[in-house]
């Protein structure tokens, strides 16, 4: 089993997204899922070695569900078209996510949907020492890996309690603090895929540590 078979399965599922087909191919699905779970378990062990602050995340807790929630998304397909792993899962921790899909894959991290308290804490940290965050995201290797950090849902004006001419108003307006690095199917099927995911994690570490320190206050 390899990631080639994972994408073969996703392609077949995309053409036959219904329960009858899944029931007929459930053994194949479990073989593919078990392979992805094994990969996540290995990634989890390696992340523990490179980051003492990483929160171990069991593979079955990290992996995304294949079923769409049709209660909240009645018009969605029965099954999702991807496999995903959300690592470092714990309250107050910056997420680290690997997404493998026919429509586009990526590795990312940060606080994608922070709570009000978390967002308030991050803004306070930026107000106190936004220069440090700017230094992290403007680092040449970080910018090359993740591009410009932007938020299409950012506020149009300054958040309450902050001046419109604040030196870090661009960051203060943001409502999510997350970055991602696009990867291809060729990247995922390459022998060094896991090594590259680790490198991306290490690149994102200072960013995550800044955010985690902010929300811990």
Cβ-contact 99, 111 below 8 angstroms: no
Confidence category of residue 151, pLDDT binned at 50, 70, 90: confident
Residues 6+ apart with CB under 8 A from 142: 136, 203, 204, 206, 207
Residue 149 pLDDT class (50, 70, 90 cuts): confident
54 closest CA partner among 214, 212, 217, 193: 212
How far does CA 89 lie from the centroid of its chain? 11
Between CA 131 and CA 140, with CA 135 as vertex, the angle to 5 degrees is: 160
76 vs 44 pLDDT, higher one: 44
Separation CA 153–CA 119 (nearest Å): 14
* pLDDT confidence of residue 71: 67
Expressed in percent and rounded to 5, the helix, strand and coil fractions of the chain are 50, 15, 35
Q: Is 111 exposed, middle or buried (0-12, 13-18, 19+ CB in 10 A)?
A: buried
Q: For the beta carbon of residue 97, count every other beta carbon within 10 angstroms.
A: 20
Residues 90-102, mean pLDDT to the nearest whole number: 93
* Pairing mode, strands 82-87 and 95-101: antiparallel
Q: Where do the domains of the chain lie?
A: 3-216
Average pLDDT of the chain is: 94
For the CA atoms of 129, 131, 138, 145, the dihedral, rounded to the nearest 10 degrees, stands at: -10
């Amino acid at each position: 089993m390899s990631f080639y078979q994972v994408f073969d399965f996703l392609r077949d599922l995309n053409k036959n997204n219904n329960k009858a087909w899944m029931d007929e191919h459930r053994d194949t699905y479990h073989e593919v899922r078990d392979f992805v779970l094994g990969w996540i378990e290995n990634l989890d062990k390696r992340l523990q070695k490179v980051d003492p602050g990483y929160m171990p995340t069991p593979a079955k807790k990290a992996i995304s569900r294949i079923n769409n929630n049709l209660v909240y998304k009645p018009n969605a397909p029965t099954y999702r078209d991807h496999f995903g792993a959300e690592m470092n899962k714990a309250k107050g921790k910056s997420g680290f996510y690997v997404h493998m899909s026919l429509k586009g894959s990526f590795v990312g991290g940060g606080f994608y949907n922070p709570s009000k308290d978390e967002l308030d804490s991050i803004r306070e940290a930026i107000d106190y020492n936004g220069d440090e965050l700017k230094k992290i995201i403007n680092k040449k290797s970080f910018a090359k890996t993740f591009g410009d950090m932007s938020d299409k849902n950012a506020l149009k004006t300054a958040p309450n309690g902050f001046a419109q001419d604040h030196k870090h108003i661009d960051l203060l307006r943001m409502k999510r603090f997350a970055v991602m690095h696009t990867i291809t199917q060729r990247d995922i099927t390459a022998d060094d895929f896991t090594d590259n995911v680790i490198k991306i994690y290490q690149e994102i570490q200072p960013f995550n540590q800044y955010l985690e320190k902010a929300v811990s206050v």
